[in-house]
Amino acid sequence: GGEELAGCMTIIPSSCSADSMIDHIIAAFSFGMPPIYKKGEKEKYCPIASKRMEIMVPLTKARKKHMKGTARWLYLQSIGVLRSKHGEGYGSKLLRTITDTADALSVPVYLETESESNESMYHHFGFRTVEKVSMKVPGDDRSDATFSMWLMLRDPK
Could you tell me which residues come within 8 angstroms of residue 144 by beta carbon, excluding any fewer than 6 positions away? none
Per-residue pLDDT tens over the stretch 27-77: 666 666 566 566 776 666 555 555 666 667 788 889 999 999 999 999 999
Looking at the structure of the chain, the number of domains it has is 1
pTM of the predicted structure, to 2 decimals: 0.78
Which value, to the nearest 10 degrees, does the dihedral of the CA atoms of residues 76, 118, 116, 57 take?
A: 20
Residue 35 lies in a domain: no
Closest CA to 153 of 117, 126, 121: 126
Q: Is the predicted pLDDT of residue 152 greater than 70, yes or no? A: yes
Q: Provide the domain limits for residue 85.
A: 7-17+47-154
More confident residue, 149 or 40: 149
Residue 32 lies in a domain: no
CATH of the domain at 145: 3.40.630.30
Q: Is the predicted pLDDT of residue 24 greater than 80, yes or no? A: no
Could you tell me which residues come within 8 angstroms of residue 147 by beta carbon, excluding any fewer than 6 positions away? 114, 134, 135, 136
pLDDT of residue 144: 73
Q: Is the predicted pLDDT of residue 3 greater than 90, yes or no? A: no
Could you tell me which residues come within 8 angstroms of residue 97 by beta carbon, excluding any fewer than 6 positions away? none
> What span, in angstroms and rounded, lies between the C-alpha atoms of 18 and 68?
12
Residue 107 lies in a domain: yes
